[in-house]
Amino acid sequence: MGAMKCSKPTTAPCQEACPAGIDVPRYIRHIRDGHFEKALAVIRERIPFPFVCGYACVHPCEAKCARIQFDEAIAIRMLKRVAAEKGGRKPAKIAKRPPTGKKIAVIGSGPCGLTAAHYLNVLGHRVTVYEALHLPGGMLRYGIPEYRLPENIVDREIGLIRDSGVEMIAGTPVSSAEALKEKGYDAVLVATGAWKPTRMGIPGEDSPNIIDGLSFLKQVNEGKSPAIGRKVIVVGGGNTAVDASRAAIRLGAEVVQIYRRTFSEMPANSEEVIEAVEEGVRVEYLTTPASIGQGRVTCIRMRLGDADASGRRAPIPIAGSEYRLGFDTLIAAIGQSADAASVNLEGRKDGTVCAEQGSLATLKRGIFAGGDAVMGPSTIIEAIAQGRLACVSMDRFLGGAGVIPETLSEEMMMEPPETVPRGAERPESRKIALKRRRATFDLVERAYPGKAAAAEASRCLCCDLRDFDVVVNDLICKDCGYCREVCGFDIFKQSEDFNPSGYKPAVAVNTDQCVGCLRCLYICPDFAITIRERKS
């Protein structure tokens, strides 16, 4: 046996975690230097929605930020918002290719459909987007309340795509993707989302004072202020449920949200849940509805058992724990599904369109599908990534190279800049007053000022510019496991072989992810770990 190493790639953990592959360290360095236009250009290399993602992305990048090994993750989403807001009214654009003469139809104007339309247009294709609702935007416009994502922001981002040459036809449902092919389109993308509500499957759920979460949010976002009464119960633990709860609070209701697991299992963004509770939403965990009748829902308490197919502990009803809650309106937000049949395509049992994972091609030649229509309910950034993949596949199908041009901002950085010392926390989130939050749909979160953004950017470790050697001396390692416990990047694993002392020693793998925090070195009781930074 001997020491094991592997080489350093150019991708930082945050960029690797981003479904759309945004070069996070590069745009953060531009913000650090006060070059917001360049930062915005880097973001726009990979996504056409920098504002939307700056306001409403679930930021999986932050969960993988190397700074967590020292203190707190970089506020990557907020820095994206700052770049979008301060990057200028006329952002850099990818140069369009010459016209190809090919015509493409996109069904659905959510983040997947519009992303694909944008990049297909850049590649020279003539693109028309069909939207069933009266305005384009899909879930961006109708599924996310104004206090998180203002309508004017959605309008601005969509306006840039339209101005670049993409035709958008709203208020026009399409019931057959094949029919569009027959009308002369060379390829069709189905990006119809996942709008079909999941039923609770309990007696009484068809009562007139029950509404599904997306229908409720759609009414709210259209400015209709639905009459929901004084007492509202929201069922569910996802982002739609939390948004429905917070919207109901703003309409003057007392809100109880019931969820069958605990806070740690909630699929909703934890920050949103915390803000909902701050605003007055009462969350009843380990609770599920059993039946509904005469303005009351009978609930039953749950306990968590073993992990189920989702990887979370399964909720199990507790016998004899039933209790009742009264309501004027009950909002059911336990999930939604796609509906392949709505566009006359073959679907799976869950309603998603049957499409190849690598190409998004359906069983019908020239018809592709992506986003929630294929994945089921997902996130904005995942839908954008699907839109990019659809663009690449469709361009290849039409005879192109399937390569999206991406360079909008060059960088000559060769050495990582000096970062602030460990223990430096990111600035506190700035929000409007709580009293105002409860009574208005005004945007809750405020952006960092320019200087605060630059200071936060200076916390970035620039992992893409660092290269470390991690070596474990397998002859003296006694496999205490401490290195695996303190490392957040899965660099250490247990060897399958015994060393001469009878232990299965630790082995360093994925050493390209090492950020040099030295926590493993400090905690190793056998002094078996060596870490060196390689210099290029």
Query: What was the pLDDT predicted at 3?
Result: 38
Tell me the per-residue pLDDT of 256-269, one tens digit each, with 9 for 90 and over: 999 999 999 999 99
Same domain, 315 and 221: yes
Which residues are paired to 94 by β-bridges? none
Same domain, 221 and 316: yes
Average pLDDT, integer, range 284-308 = 95
Scanning the structure block, which residue is given the tokens 């840039």?
160
Q: Would you say residue 8 lies in a domain? A: no
Alpha helices in 369-433 (DSSP H): 372-375, 380-397
Please tell me the chain's helix, strand, coil percentages from 3-state DSSP, rounded to the nearest 5. Answer: 30, 20, 50
Query: What was the pLDDT predicted at 536?
Result: 57
Scanning the structure block, which residue is given the tokens 């200028």?
88
What is the identity of the amino acid at 398? L
Same domain, 412 and 442: yes
Q: Would you say residue 2 lies in a domain? A: no
Same domain, 133 and 178: yes
N- to C-terminal Cα distance for the chain? Answer: 28
Same domain, 125 and 22: no
Q: Would you say residue 180 lies in a domain? A: yes
Q: Would you say residue 147 lies in a domain? A: yes
Q: Is the pLDDT of residue 8 over 80?
A: no
Same domain, 310 and 218: yes
Query: What was the pLDDT predicted at 367?
Result: 98
CATH number at residue 492: 3.30.70.20
Tell me the per-residue pLDDT of 417-430, one tens digit each, with 9 for 90 and over: 777 877 888 998 89
The two most distant CA atoms of the chain are separated, in Å, by 74
What is the identity of the amino acid at 385? A
Per the model's pLDDT, the better-predicted residue between 158 and 407 turns out to be 158
Q: What percent of the chain lies above the pLDDT cut of 70? A: 97
Q: Would you say residue 237 lies in a domain? A: yes
Same domain, 237 and 300: yes
Range with lowest mean pLDDT among 9-23, 38-52, 155-169, 326-340:
9-23
494: helix, strand or coil: strand
What is the identity of the amino acid at 520? C
Same domain, 308 and 361: no
Q: Is the pLDDT of residue 9 over 70?
A: no
Strands of 192-281 (E only): list them: 196-197, 210-212, 231-235, 254-258
- Rounded Cα distance between 61 and 214, Å, is 27
- Rounded Cα distance between 235 and 212, Å, is 9
- Answer whether 210's CB lies under 8 Å from 406's CB: no
Per the model's pLDDT, the better-predicted residue between 91 and 70 turns out to be 70
- Rounded Cα distance between 397 and 392, Å, is 9
Per-residue H/E/C for 283-311: EECCEEEEEEECCEEEEEEEEEEEECCCC
- Rounded Cα distance between 492 and 505, Å, is 10
Query: What was the pLDDT predicted at 413?
Result: 61
CATH number at residue 218: 3.50.50.60
Q: Model-level pTM greater than 0.95?
A: no
Domains in the chain, number: 4
Same domain, 504 and 418: no
The residue length of the chain stands at 536
Q: Would you say residue 3 lies in a domain? A: no
- Rounded Cα distance between 204 and 212, Å, is 14
CATH number at residue 414: 1.10.1060
Average pLDDT, integer, range 333-348 = 95
Task: Tell me the CA distances in angstroms from 246 to 24, 216, 275, 284, one per residue in order.
Answer: 31, 12, 9, 15
Q: Would you say residue 511 lies in a domain? A: yes
Same domain, 52 and 154: no
Which band of pLDDT confidence, cut at 50, 70 and 90, is reported for residue 11?
confident
**Which residues are within 8 A (CB) of 9 and not within 5 positions of it... i.e. 6 or more apart?**
512
Task: Tell me the CA distances in angstroms from 57 to 1, 11, 23, 239, 504, one per residue in order.
Answer: 45, 21, 15, 12, 42
Q: Would you say residue 125 lies in a domain? A: yes
Same domain, 279 and 302: yes
DSSP string, 4-38: ------S--HHHHH-TT---HHHHHHHHHTT-HHH
If one counts every other C-beta atom within 10 angstroms of the C-beta of residue 239, the result is: 23
179: helix, strand or coil: helix
Average pLDDT, integer, range 198-227 = 95
Q: Is the pLDDT of residue 2 over 90?
A: no
Helix axes 76-86, 36-44, angle to 10 degrees: 110
Give me the chain's average pLDDT, please.
93
Same domain, 296 and 210: yes
Name the strands in the sheet holding 210-212, side by side, starting at the edge strand that comes first in the sequence. 210-212, 329-332, 231-235, 254-258, 282-284
- Rounded Cα distance between 318 and 286, Å, is 10
Backbone angles phi, psi at 365, to 5 degrees: -55, 130
Query: What was the pLDDT predicted at 312?
Result: 86
Q: What is the DSSP letter of 42?
A: H
Q: Is the pLDDT of residue 408 over 90?
A: no
C-alpha 292: how far from its chain's center? 34
- Rounded Cα distance between 258 and 299, Å, is 9
Q: Is the pLDDT of residue 225 over 90?
A: no
Average pLDDT, integer, range 493-521 = 90
Helix axes 450-457, 76-86, angle to 10 degrees: 140
- Structural domain harbouring 310: 203-322
Helix (H), strand (E) counts: the chain? 19, 22
- Rounded Cα distance between 173 and 175, Å, is 6
What is the identity of the amino acid at 53? C
Q: Which of 288, 322, 356 is the last residue in one of the domains?
A: 322
Tell me the per-residue pLDDT of 468-492, one tens digit each, with 9 for 90 and over: 889 999 999 999 999 999 998 889 9
Tell me the per-residue pLDDT of 138-186, one tens digit each, with 9 for 90 and over: 999 999 999 999 999 999 999 999 999 999 999 999 999 999 999 999 9
- Rounded Cα distance between 423 and 330, Å, is 45
Average pLDDT, integer, range 511-518 = 85
- Answer whether 24's CB lies under 8 Å from 13's CB: no
